[in-house]
Amino acid sequence: MALTKFGIIKQFIFNKIESGYWPQHHKVPSENELAEQFNVSRMTARRALQELTEQGVLVRSQGSGTFVATFKSQSSLLEIRNIADEVQDRGHEYQSKQLRLEAINVNDEIAILLSCRPSDTVYYSEVLHYENKQPIQLEQRYVNSELVPTYLAQNFNQITPHEYLSSVAPLTEATHEIEAVIAAPEVCQYLNIKETQPCLQVKRRTWARQGVVSAAILTSPGDKYRLGGHIIIEQ
């Protein structure tokens, strides 16, 4: 499939960054310069820069220009996205490794999060997500077995839990709890980091129309991941 005009500009910028020709904080060409170089409208060049900014590849500074962002992965606080899509949108290679997938009896805390009884059985998965062959996030997810009875039949080496749940129980609501933590030794081992290294941890609950679908704990190395967002306020 042929790339769109703004897609060609995005790929050009990706290639410059991936090759190391444009390092962190390097100032990239302006909208006008890109429009002239690729013989496109300024609006097309602006769209390419804006999409790369929203993906965390670039940082735009009012009055100063657009620069290559620090080399950390960025996830949005304003939307729930599939991590595989996030990684691939940055032009990077995505992989996942399913560590655990089983039925378990939950404790009081998880029962409250999933709006079920402590004696109920729920489904539990652990999936390690990779970006360019480096572990970027450990996902520990508890799933309401009544709402998603086929969860244990999935292969999360091939599809992410988010992608699967979105197809069988479309998201209607979500909450986030975000904090910096020192992860448990087992988690640090999965993420290939020292036990003293700070991590970014997101606790997320998601709902479908039928009720609470899942509660997930997403843990990422603090030096490889960041959260951000872009809000447009209509006047």
pLDDT digits (tens, 9 = 90+) for 194-229: 999 999 999 998 988 788 899 999 999 988 766 554
What is the percent of the chain with per-residue pLDDT over 70, rounded to a whole number? 89
What confidence score (pLDDT) does residue 226 get?
Answer: 60
Rounded mean pLDDT, 16-23: 85
Domains for the chain: give ranges and CATH numbers.
Answer: 5-68 (1.10.10.10), 73-226 (3.40.1410.10)
Flag whether pLDDT at 232 surpasses 80.
no
DSSP per-residue string spanning the chain? -PPPHHHHHHHHHHHHHHTTSS-TTPBPPPHHHHHHHHT--HHHHHHHHHHHHHTTSEEEETTTEEEEPPS-EEEESSS---HHHHHHHTT--EEEEEEEEEEEE--HHHHHHHT--TT-EEEEEEEEEEETTEEEEEEEEEE-TTT-TTGGG--TTTS-HHHHHHHHS---EEEEEEEEEE--HHHHHHHT--TTSEEEEEEEEEEETTEEEEEEEEEEETTTEEEE-------
Indicate whether 231 pLDDT > 50.
Answer: no
For 129-154, write each residue's pLDDT tens digit: 999 999 999 999 999 999 999 999 99
Residue 1, pLDDT score: 45
Say whether pLDDT at 9 is over 60.
yes
Name the pLDDT band for 29 (thresholds 50, 70, 90).
Answer: very high
User: Does residue 111 carry a pLDDT above 90?
Assistant: no
Confidence of residue 71 (pLDDT cuts 50, 70, 90): low
Question: For a pLDDT cut of 90, what percent of the chain falls above it?
Answer: 51
